[in-house]
Amino acid sequence: MAGLFLLLSLLACFPSFSFVYAAAGLTQHFQTPINRDLYHSSTDLIEKIKSLVHRHPDKLTVETHKSGTEGYNADVMVVTYRQSGKQSDDRSKIRILLGFGQHSRELITPELALRIVSILSEEQFLPGMDHASLNGTLENLVIKLVPLENLNGRKLVEAGDLCERRNGRGVDLNRNWGVDWGRKEKNYDPVEEYPGTGPFSEPETQIMREIATSFNPHIWVNVHSGSAALFMPYDHKNSTPDGVASQRMRALTEELNKVHCHGRCKTGSGGASVGYLAHGTATDYMYDVVRVPMSFTFEIFAGDKTLNEDCFKMFNPVDQTTFESVLNQWCAILFALFKLGPHEIDVHSTNMENCFDQVDNQVYDHL
């Protein structure tokens, strides 16, 4: 009896150490706890980004979007970088939108957002990039970053649900968008991939759609982890779109792969490369509906897939060397995208539809 009491006390103290449960015969899986020396808490991460912005009001601004449905509320912080000029000048610049932390267990991606903001503020520097070339790359860009799209889900991970990827009420935010929403594959996981009660049922997705449609970006990147990949549309079918925009995305991802991934990142359509089709994803919506000519999903860290249920380790680097090298590598990739991407876009075109003029009309069939 005393032994059982001791065991229950241990369970209460260390809920993330599943080996204790395993010892009790309750489960087989070991779960590596979050490395708090490397990873910020969501509260610290948000505070750190806000104070960076406040120290550099000439270049950075921050705002928090709020939305809610049926008693479920979400806050989404957005950071905007403009080297010069006002919001009214945005129309004449190349606009880039980056989303991080859509899946809550992928803790490394908001850390990358923080690193990008630090570099944009020039408080941190990217190895191999000097001040002049950074400024040259950034002068005609407006960059919006959403460092932590799924804050409610992230709080669940921090409370010990290390495998949680959905939002605060069980919806996969990368299945909640309005392109091919709700279709299910044979291997569909009804828990992990629950797409919500309808497209855009979730406040987080509503906010992201509002940001995207009002900002009207030329480049979108949805940053995830679990693989090493530079994906382009589509996620819901195993092919890429037709047309000039698609050719440009392919050329760009192949160049980034060659220079920064040593050819080891997966490229091509997410649906063809990842091993399963995904329906209702953000990147497919950005491309098909918001008409973002360069829409990508980057997967920044491939953990060991054989680590059954050890989710922190499957989706995130656990040691400092790997943590730093992942952040450096993907900062280099994103800044290379900032540099190369605008060359692929006709800045003087008032109509981004030009990029799509050869797109097969069938892309609308499934909307």
The site for Zn ion (CB under 5 A) is made up of 103, 224
> Does the annotation count 299 as an active-site position?
yes
Give yes or no for a contact between 142 and 94, defined as CB atoms under 8 angstroms apart: yes
The DSSP annotation for 40-100 comes to --HHHHHHHHHHHHHH-TTTEEEEEEEEEETTEEEEEEEEEEESSS-GGGGGGSEEEEEEE
Q: How far is the CB of 270 from Zn ion (least distance, A)?
A: 11
Residue among 180 and 299 whose Cβ is closer to Zn ion: 299
The tokens describing 175, both together, are 């299945």
CA distance readout (Å), 11 to 8, 20, 33, 34, 230: 5, 7, 14, 17, 40
Whole-angstrom distance, CA of residue 220 vs CA of residue 9 = 47
Whole-angstrom distance, CA of residue 16 vs CA of residue 32 = 8
Residue among 103 and 144 whose Cβ is closer to Zn ion: 103
Give yes or no for a contact between 162 and 311, defined as CB atoms under 8 angstroms apart: yes
Residue among 49 and 300 whose Cβ is closer to Zn ion: 300
Q: How far is the CB of 226 from Zn ion (least distance, A)?
A: 6
Q: How far is the CB of 168 from Zn ion (least distance, A)?
A: 16
Q: Which residues pair with 80 in a beta bridge?
A: 61, 144
Whole-angstrom distance, CA of residue 55 vs CA of residue 43 = 18
Q: Tokens 């489960």 map to which residue?
A: 27
**What's at 28, amino acid-wise?**
Q
Whole-angstrom distance, CA of residue 75 vs CA of residue 239 = 35
Whole-angstrom distance, CA of residue 267 vs CA of residue 250 = 8
Choosing from 111, 204, 299, 344, which is the catalytic residue? 299
Q: How far is the CB of 106 from Zn ion (least distance, A)?
A: 5
The tokens describing 18, both together, are 């599943």
Give yes or no for a contact between 62 and 50, defined as CB atoms under 8 angstroms apart: yes
Residue among 224 and 260 whose Cβ is closer to Zn ion: 224
Residue among 115 and 224 whose Cβ is closer to Zn ion: 224
Q: How far is the CB of 209 from Zn ion (least distance, A)?
A: 18
Residue among 103 and 248 whose Cβ is closer to Zn ion: 103
The tokens describing 97, both together, are 């939108």
Long-range contacts made by residues 53-56, C-beta under 8 angstroms, separation at least 24? 53/79, 53/117, 53/121, 55/121, 55/123, 56/121, 56/122, 56/123
Residue among 139 and 189 whose Cβ is closer to Zn ion: 189
Q: How far is the CB of 201 from Zn ion (least distance, A)?
A: 19
Q: How far is the CB of 141 from Zn ion (least distance, A)?
A: 26
Whole-angstrom distance, CA of residue 145 vs CA of residue 83 = 15
Catalytic residues: 299
